[in-house]
Structure 1
């Protein structure tokens, strides 16, 4: 961005402060003041226009020219700036706020030349040679501030980081920041130019103008530095560590006013050293939908865009381009040099082609700045430099570590990398050394430290050829380790209820994927691949990775030979295939066959646990298909098995599925008992929330209980339960469970909370589309159509609803058939298409009766009666019969809501016939059953009762 610094290059003075905009340096009485980037920009804008009122809008546009921000951000950074200046303390006043108008810098400002006068001490230090600072360093302002403070306090700091991460650039920026504090006495020593370690002290001494008269220049150098206040920058120490370390330690001990800032790929490890690890630039996270504006907030992408434009590229920076740029920066791990090299290619190759070239070795040969040191001319040269510093054992271990994808644990590395020539102690020591040399990155995930090779380092290591036999042996150890890991952690996956808990497991799952690819690849081992796939199938389900579950389950089943059929491997693979297909593509014969086969094998193997689980999945299959009688049988069978087993998760699932079956069979009170029993387990420490065979059954129970409570007449409890189900599932960060919980928003439509329903519907559809949950997308669209009809946009709602019903029928997903038919018939009636509405109801009622009674039947009958009364020639007798049938079924099911609606319509009909007493006697007892909530149904009944007297 064109920062405020571009608008002012002069040196400004106000009070005890000096501001050098071009250096982004603010000092107070010669001491640097730490200030955030945005606060610094605000100061520059205000101080360069003293006594002028600058509106908030104008200030925001100049400080954040390419980003839309709220006034709250301005207020936050303004507070930080005022605190740094001491504004308002001891009578000092720098910035004033004019209500409704903006801000004004009110202190007296003096302007000096763009180059600050050299302090007198500089004349006594003619060796100052600090390279020029970059005009803008992206994403490192906080690092510069922290390093400046650390160096001032501790005197000796080493910036440690991977090659190309920007250690030298940051060190130079820190030295410029502290230039005035050291009165210009700053010496920069580039040790990267040296090959002979013995010349380290000689190089420093010669740059200080010392005469070298012995092989060891250290004593004379230390004698010269004593009593002098100097900042000594020792750049690129990693290849001279053995000599630079004692030299730095000796200077720090003997020369009390000398401060040392070193850069190295590993710490010097001497007394007094403070290590500052410079991390790569932050990149946009994976798996999050980001807009162009959001992507520009990350330092890695900011750097990429700035360097690309500076090289002549034209970027629109649309959301589509932002996605590609974010992906490029992630592939390059936020490494500054790699990002700059890639950005330079945009002008010649374009964005998409550059992204494609990153996957090829060619990208490592791209040239950067001509003025950069040779080791930083290309990414290949940087990696060659790093690799050349390793011992032979470290090189072997690095190459073997490249078998891991992403993060891995120390246990995994020791198991996989260790072999006959390399025992565990050698591997352990080599990994420790590679971490120290910034060739292997570390990061705590959960309670355990994780390790990984940066993608560029891993690609470099993979290019180093291995003997084919050694490569195969390494891959087999990798596969074997992760097969054991899946088997050992199998029971834990279902209990991971938050994204934080899943993070360590996802790291391991990356390696499972790589192992599967090798097993079924050209030179892989299919036999162990089948074992790995069977172990991975339930894990993919637990993590909502349905497409992967389907893909690898199919692959494993195709590879099974006759000798392995009928065992646990086929049982797990058919379960994985059936469940994943059901959620992504809907019901089909293939799904039923897979689930039935898994159940058959479980019964043959006397595996009661898996039998009960598969009966639960078959219950869900029939439930989605609209065959509620079969669903109830499966639920009852599963519940019977679960009651004999000491497994709280299975019992929770059984209560949940039995509850929803009874709900859809019309037994609302029985459903409530089962669903509340399932949800009681949530407070049990032995159970908690688990994703059992693909989803959290408490999410299903919560959504079903919300609907049940509404039908029973408890609208406030229903609304609260619906929102709780959604919020609990949100905290789990589990896609299938969340989509299932979001079906509870149907209650919000019934309770006329239309705005809240619309908000959740958008989330529902977005998640269903992202996760490829096919039928749920159409459910969401259907609910949106219902919302449109309720808001009066009937014509559009009817057409959308018809389309959704057709798609759901095609996917054999009939769970919402009755509900959507009710709304569609209501839409037909509202637009005068009475016979279409009646025909639709008469079609759906026999379907319901054939598959099993459901609690929507009373409403279908009531709606039919109301349509019959609205026809040009009202069919009063038929309508009255429909209302009476609706009342009888409502009372049988326990549905007070449908009972109230039917009683209100029938009472209104009787009142029109002069049967006022009968009408009041019918409606009043039903109305008085309601103890909570205010909604359209209660208002309509109350209005009628008032009219009836």
Structure 2
């Protein structure tokens, strides 16, 4: 933006009224000289834009020639007045050789707030940034320059050698810019990943996006497309191809997303601007170096500060300055290497530390001729630092390298201890390693989490892989996370409403993935892997991580042996495999075989609870397949099993499953009884409904009850229940639950004639489907758009959308909404004068309903067939009347008063057109009179209008 000279602008605690030449801080005037104030106004007038020194001097001194020193003087005074650089505040960046840039976020009174109003979709989730260092040495100008560059170009990669401080600088830049993004920022550490193929999955998990396809990138782009968002991709070098492709696609498709990446090499993709982060500067080699001169270099400052933090007292004297300078030069100014060396001063003193450093690094350089120079230095530093550890510290460090990313203290004690090193000694070693900067810490809530720096972990992991007891270590690691999953599995569904608690749990799943990689690797233990995958599968499902679920369940099924085959592990794995395949690839035969196999094992084992939890997925599978008779069969079996269990949660699940099937098959009274019974069980129901399904059966019961209420002639209650169920699903923040609720709620609004709500919910439904890769639901959403178009008179567009939707759904074997869409398609074809084609469609739909069992739609099918017959060029009113009478009769047998009213309106209209108004009124009036609510709905308004014309 460009600030006009009469504007008032705000930044941080400051207000600048340009026209009055007044700068205030929290309401109090700030005294500035005239030229200093002119300098501020010039910078503020072009925020986030580099203003050259000559240009700036020309604006501040338009009629006077001055030296560049005058400008530097006023810039320094302005920074002092603003407190630039204190407590993390950043206002003015210096770009060497180019000029100055105002980088703080600005707002004006027109925005109605002290910071810019958000114009894009806000980030729904938890801002996830590591804490910035309390004091960062030598990077002030780099942070300011990067902040300006990222604000201007949107995509910057910080490139540099390992340990140079790329992550530290990136975190500082993110915190500087956080306010301008309204807190919408996410830090993603790719260093914990070993498989480039799961780079987009890791990002989706951190964003809370369920991954339900083989390619999650379209979901990520759909989620980020309209968001003003800051994304930090850290440690890209070892997954650079995947990270580069992901960053480029997000940059090109999401114009308000700013990407800051760190890598040892540029990503080399479109849109990227590379910022080379140089090592910290250190004193040159030469005589006469004083302590005062040495302290002007950031590398020296960092060394002394870290040495003091580790307990060493170093009062730098002139005679010590050369020693410190030599150490910093030896380490090439690499921040990590300097920190490791400084941590040894407390134990060995300054001179001995320098001597040991010289000795160790010199030897190692001789063996690393093919490595890049800075990698030689960092590798040597790690080797040297490792050599200074005690044997206990070395052993524990090697063992901790088994962890991928962060880990808890409980995990470290369980995995790193054994008969040789008990938990007390492990705890002491961890405490020492933290103090020596070999293990990093990060608080998460009230708990501390730990991790090895990436370079340290790689170094120690290479050593640990050669240990004779590595297999035992990996076994303990996998076993710990299997037990962790088993103990915490029941808690995962409750995290759907707690994003702050979910984030660290999702990060812990990286250790589960790492353990599974080892288990199923060439030197792993497949037996442990089978048990770990079986424990992980329900969690993957609960978090909608369906790609993970499918991948590891499939691997585990292939690894089954005589001990695990036909046991509880295979039962869990087959169920998870079937469900994940169903959502990712549709109702495939492979998915059905897996679910059938799981149920067969449960039956052989004689466990009624397991049978119930497996009958429910099979019920869902056949509902999606459109085989409603088979779904009803599984629902009745669920009820029989639940009655034998006599557990409230089991009964609730069975009531829900049976109620849904009875609703679809036309037994509305029975459906209502079952669904209301299901909802009465409250929280115990939710516990049963999420074991395998990854979504809430209570939610589905609520929306099925809404449709049942409408069919029974209670439109107002139906709308209230639909809105309530959608709201509950939205609070869960779970894509499948919300999509199911929206899917059926849309039909309620279409039935009542509330097209605006139907359209709003359809847009919401499509948005969820796009973001979370719910591919069949995208086709369903298009079908709803077609229904809306026909209802609004655009039959041509409506028919086109419905035909395309049905084609896609048939291919995916998703037939749950086919009958409803065919009904609308026939109405659209009739409006286009294609009634003969419409009659063929309706006859086929009637045949399929008779074969498959969704009989609740039969009265409406017969009524719509009558409409098509009457719209023929030569209407067959006799056949149409027969269809309408059949529709009335079937509606009454089903107690479907909503269908009965529609059929009565159409038959009454037909009779009125034939000159039989008395018969028409006698038919319609009693049907209309039985409705005591919903007078504003479309069908009741139509009946009222027709009755008025009949007298």
TM-score of the two chains, using structure 2 as the length reference: 0.66
Contact 2:530 2:560 in 1 (8 A): yes
Q: Name the counterpart of 1:483.
A: 482
Task: Give, in angstroms, the shift of residue 631 of structure 1.
Answer: 1.5
Contact in 2 for aligned 1:764/1:780 (Cα 8 Å): yes
Corresponding residue of 1:135: 94
Q: Is the 8 A contact 1:632 1:661 kept in 2?
A: yes
Contact 2:530 2:556 in 1 (8 A): yes
CA distance in 2, matches of 1:298, 1:761: 29
Mapped partners of 2:75, 2:871: distance in 1: 93
How far off is 1:25 after superposition?
Answer: 11
> Structure 1's 461 and 751: CA in aligned 2 closer, same or farther, altered over 3 A?
farther
Structure-2 separation of matches of 1:473 and 1:354: 46
- Shift of residue 354 of structure 1? 10
Query: Is the contact between residue 279 and residue 333 of structure 2 (CA under 8 Å) also seen in structure 1?
Result: yes
Q: 1:850: Cα distance to partner? A: 1.8
User: CA distance change for structure 1 residues 379 and 839 in 2, over 3 Å: closer, same or farther?
Assistant: farther
Question: 1:48 maps to what in 2?
Answer: 41
Aligned-partner SS, 1:695: coil
Counterpart of 1:576 in structure 2 is 576
State the alpha-carbon separation in 2 of the partners of residues 813 and 322 from structure 1: 30
- The answer (yes or no) to whether the contact 2:405–2:511 under 8 Å persists in 1 is yes
Q: Matches of 1:497 and 1:770 in 2, distance apart? A: 17
Aligned-pair CA distance for 1:907: 0.5
Distance 1:590 1:15 in 2: 66
Q: Tell me the equivalent position of 2:907.
A: 906
- Change in Cα spacing, 1:884 to 1:462, as seen in structure 2 (3 Å) is same
CA gap 1:678/1:169 in 2 versus in 1, 3 angstroms:
farther
Distance 1:441 1:324, change over 3 A: farther
Once the two structures are TM-superposed, the CA of residue 452 in structure 1 deviates from its matched residue by: 3.3
Question: What is aligned with 2:937?
Answer: 935
Structure-1 separation of matches of 2:851 and 2:860:
18
Give 1:890 shift: 1.1
Provide closer, same or farther for how the CA distance between residues 170 and 140 of structure 1 changes in structure 2, counting only shifts above 3 A.
Answer: farther
Whether the 8 Å contact between 2:656 and 2:674 is mirrored in structure 1 is yes
Map Cα deviations across residues 655-689 of structure 1 (whole Å, 9 max, x no partner).
11111100011011221221122222236699597
The CA deviation at 1:431 is: 2.7
Whole-Å separation in 2 of the counterparts to 1:118 and 1:944: 83
Q: Are 1:320 and 2:251 counterparts? A: yes
Structure-2 separation of matches of 1:573 and 1:810: 27
* 1:280-318, Cα deviation, whole Å (9 max, x unpaired): 99743643457989887649699x9xxxxxxxxxxx998
Distance 1:281 1:437 in 2: 32
Q: Which runs of 5+ in 1 are unaligned?
A: 8-13, 34-42, 50-57, 67-111, 123-131, 143-160, 175-264, 266-275, 305-315, 333-337, 356-362
Q: Where in structure 2 are the equivalents of 1:503-902 lying within 5 Å?
A: 503-682=503-682, 687=687, 690=690, 692-743=692-743, 744-902=745-903
CA distance in 1, matches of 2:449, 2:727: 31
Where does 1:13-162 land on structure 2 (aligned, <5 Å)?
Answer: 48=41, 62=46, 115=73, 135=94
Describe the superposition over 1:404-446 as per-residue Cα deviations: whole angstroms up to 9, x where unpaired. 2233221111111224553322322333344456654544556
C-alpha separation between the residues in 2 aligned to 1:352 and 1:419?
51
Work out the CA distance in 1 between the residues paired with 2:496 and 2:15. Answer: 56
Report the CA distance shift for 1:765/1:652 in structure 2 as closer, same or farther (over 3 A): same
* Residue in 2 that maps onto 1:168: 137
Give the 3 Å change call, closer, same or farther, for CA 812–531 of structure 1 in structure 2.
same
Q: Which moved more, 1:644-653 or 1:592-601?
A: 644-653
Distance in 2 between the 1:518 and 1:166 partners?
Answer: 40
1: CA distance, partners of 2:231 / 2:593: 52
Given that residues 399 and 464 in structure 2 are in contact (C-alpha distance below 8 angstroms), is that contact kept between their aligned partners in structure 1?
Answer: no
- SS of structure 2 residue aligned to 1:450: strand
Displacement of 1:844 in angstroms is 0.9
Q: Secondary structure at the match of 2:137?
A: helix
Q: In structure 2, how many angstroms separate the alpha carbons of the residues matched to 1:116 and 1:320?
A: 38
Deviation at 1:45, TM superposition (A): 9.0
1:198-209 mapped onto 2 (5 Å cutoff): none
Cα pair distance change 1:450/1:279, threshold 3 Å = farther
Question: Is the CA contact (8 Å cut-off) linking 2:340 and 2:437 kept in structure 1?
Answer: no
Q: Is the Cα contact below 8 Å between 1:497 and 1:734 reproduced in 2?
A: yes
Distance in structure 2 (CA, Å) of the matches to 1:736 and 1:439: 43
Seen in structure 2, the aligned counterparts of structure 1 residues 574 and 689 have a Cα distance that, compared at 3 Å, is: closer
Residue 498 of structure 1 corresponds to 497
In the alignment, which residue of structure 2 is the partner of 1:944?
Answer: 946
Q: Secondary structure at the match of 2:450?
A: strand
Q: Number of paired residues? A: 718
SS of alignment partner, residue 514 of structure 2: helix
Aligned partners of 2:27 and 2:819: how far apart in 1?
Answer: 75
Partner of 2:157: none
> Is the 2:789–2:795 Cα contact (8 Å) retained in structure 1?
yes
**Aligned-partner SS, 1:649:** helix
Q: Taking structure 1 as reference, are residues 351 and 456 closer, same or farther at Cα in structure 2, changes over 3 Å only? A: farther
Post-superposition CA distance 1:88-140 (Å, at most 9, x none): xxxxxxxxxxxxxxxxxxxxxxxx97626999xx9xxxxxxxxx996389999
Structure 2 unpaired stretches of 5+: 8-13, 51-69, 81-90, 106-129, 144-167, 179-184, 188-202, 208-219, 237-246, 283-297, 300-327, 344-381
Partner of 2:471: 472
Partner of 2:403: 404
Deviation at 1:935, TM superposition (A): 2.0
Q: Structure 1 residues 734 and 48, CA, compared in 2 at 3 Å: closer, same or farther?
A: closer
Secondary structure of 1:644's match?
Answer: helix
- Distance in 1, Cα, partners of 2:72 & 2:846: 86
Q: 1:138 to 1:775 in 2, by over 3 A?
A: farther
In structure 1, the residue matched to 2:363 is none
Provide the aligned C-alpha RMSD in A: 4.8
CA shift in 2, pair 1:790/1:382, >3 Å: farther
Q: In structure 1, what is the equivalent of residue 217 of structure 2?
A: none
Q: 1:208 matched to which residue of 2?
A: none
Q: Secondary structure at the match of 2:541?
A: helix
CA contact (8 A) 1:397 1:427 kept: yes
1:667/1:296 Cα in 2 relative to 1: closer, same or farther (>3 Å)? closer
Give 1:62 deviation, angstroms.
4.8
Tell me how far 1:846 sits from its aligned partner. 1.5
Contact 2:538 2:691 in 1 (8 A): no
Contact 2:232 2:259 in 1 (8 A): no
**Which residue does the alignment assign to 1:81?**
none
**Is the Cα contact below 8 Å between 1:579 and 1:694 reproduced in 2?**
no
Change (3 A) 1:945 1:383: farther
Match of 2:429 in 1: 430
Cα distance in 2, alignment partners of residues 819 and 116 from structure 1? 73
Distance 1:625 1:837 in 2: 24
Deviations 1:815-835 (A, max 9, x none): 111101001111101111000
Q: CA deviation at 1:845?
A: 0.6
Q: Is the 8 A contact 1:164 1:376 kept in 2?
A: no
SS in 2 for 1:451: strand
Deviation larger for 380-389 or 890-899: 380-389
Pair 807,599 (structure 1): closer, same or farther in 2 beyond 3 Å: same
TM-aligned CA deviation for residue 796 of structure 1: 2.3
Distance in structure 2 (CA, Å) of the matches to 1:299 and 1:593: 42
| Deviates most, 899-908 or 809-818 | 809-818
Equivalent residues of 1:402, 1:453 under 8 A apart:
yes
Distance, in Å, in 1 between the alignment partners of 2:451 and 2:473 is 17
